[in-house]
Amino acid sequence: MLINEETGENPWGVSFLRMIDMANDSHLFHTESGPNRVPLYEAKMIHQFDHRFGTWEGVQERGNSQLPSPTPEQYADPSYTTKPWYWVDKDEVEARLGNWDRGWLMGFRDVTNATNERTVIASVLPRMGVGHTMPLIMVVKLLAGCLLANLNSVILDYIARQKIGGTHITFFIIKQLPILPPDRFTDKNIDFIIPRVCGTRVCGKRNETFCPRPRLSKAHPSSGMKTAGRYLGQSWTHTMDTFMGLLVRSCTIF
């Protein structure tokens, strides 16, 4: 599990943050970009490994529950950014992040349902404002990409469906899900998983600090010897199969 509340074990060293309340903090919102303002991300704007899943561009009414996705051409442009409905002051965001020193954030959709195609939807996103419907997981350990892949794995999703009784993924549920501790990942596992995470749509230009190629090779030298072409030519299903095997062998729930 992610955090064992009985023993206090927290192998990933994670903490949680609900940054900006969409109701109580609405006085902080701006409807136009401006100096020292950053976009306010909402849960409906992300999907698994994808911080550019939904955009408010072209949407006229705030009440839309689903947002249009970028075109394939926009996805192919790493510099493309989705449009938010609101912006917030950068200083407010920095104050709420405190001593967090990474250029990225990791969050998941709070609102879900056991009947949805996928129950747990997590992604990395740029260091921006984030609404409370996308709670943040602050990871102090290395290998955050492995944690992200684990959160989006099929076997974890199956177990999450058994635990969720309503329409929200609470911190209580996230703590109980089958998450491998970082020391369970061998160099071979890391070499397989991390480049594939960085080869998904998580790799927009604003997320460069999450998985820059030089840092991958520094942390795990063997990763740097492979090329992106080899990674992207592999099926993501194989990565999920790897996680299933690791989880089945490692989690006592089985």
74 falls within a domain: yes
Position 30 scores a pLDDT of 97
CA distance 51 to 32: 20
126 falls within a domain: yes
24-40 tens-digit pLDDT: 999 999 999 999 999 99
Q: Where are the beta strands (DSSP E) in the chain?
A: 15-17, 37-41, 87-89, 104-108, 122-126, 129-130, 136-138
User: For residue 243, what are the CA distances in angstroms to 141, 173, 239, 247?
Assistant: 19, 20, 6, 6
User: For residue 240, what are the CA distances in angstroms to 148, 149, 156, 180, 243?
Assistant: 12, 8, 10, 14, 5
Whether residue 143 contacts residue 182, with contact meaning beta carbons closer than 8 Å, is answered with yes
Q: Which residue, chain included where needed, has tokens 């921006």?
A: 128
6 falls within a domain: no
Position 209 scores a pLDDT of 60
65 falls within a domain: yes
- Angle subtended at Cα 131 by Cα 129 and Cα 133, rounded to the nearest 5 degrees: 150
152 falls within a domain: yes
- DSSP per-residue letters across 61-86: -TT-SS-PPPPHHHHH-TT--PPPS-
pTM score, whole prediction: 0.80
User: For residue 226, what are the CA distances in angstroms to 178, 192, 202?
Assistant: 30, 10, 19
Selection from 145, 156, 142 nearest residue 112 by Cα? 156
Position 113 scores a pLDDT of 72
Residue stretches of the chain with pLDDT short of 70 = 114, 200-254
104-136 tens-digit pLDDT: 999 999 998 767 789 999 999 999 999 999 999
Selection from 124, 36, 136, 33 nearest residue 85 by Cα? 33
User: For residue 127, what are the CA distances in angstroms to 24, 26, 94, 97?
Assistant: 21, 20, 9, 9
CA distance 156 to 137: 16
Find how far residue 152's CA is from the centre of its chain.
Answer: 9
59 falls within a domain: yes
Whether residue 160 contacts residue 173, with contact meaning beta carbons closer than 8 Å, is answered with yes
8 falls within a domain: no
Amino acid at 22: M
Domain extent at residue 24: 15-250
| Number of domains observed in the structure of the chain | 1
44 falls within a domain: yes
Find how far residue 206's CA is from the centre of its chain.
Answer: 14
